[in-house]
Amino acid sequence: MAGAVLRFLAWLAAQMWRLGVGIIGAISQWVRQNWKRVLSWLEKGVSGATIIHWIMQILGLA
C-alpha cells in the first residue's frame, strides 16, 4: 500500500471524534480494499474530506 494511502488512513483515524468509530471502521476497511483507487484520488489532489464523502456515498452512509 502506498505511503500516501497510509497517511490518509492515519488522518482518517483522527477524524473518529467527528464521524464515529463505526463509520471510520467501514471507511478504513473500504480504503484498504480499494487503496489503488484512493491513491489515484490523492495523486489528483482530491481533499481527504471529499474522499470521505465519496466513500460514504459508495457505502450508503451519506
Q: What is the pLDDT of residues 9-27, one digit of tens each?
A: 999 999 988 899 999 999 9
Cell triple for 6: 497510509
Domain of residue 20: give its range. Answer: 1-59
Q: State the Cα–Cα distance between residues 60 and 43, nearest whole angstrom.
A: 25
pLDDT surpassing 90 at residue 29 = yes
The amino acid occupying position 42 is L
pTM of the model: 0.89
Q: What is the dihedral of CA 55, 57, 61, 62, to 10 degrees?
A: 120
- Domains contained in the chain, number: 1
Measured in whole angstroms, how far is the alpha carbon of residue 19 from the centre of its chain? 12
For residue range 30-57, list pLDDT tens digits in order: 999 999 999 999 999 999 999 999 999 9
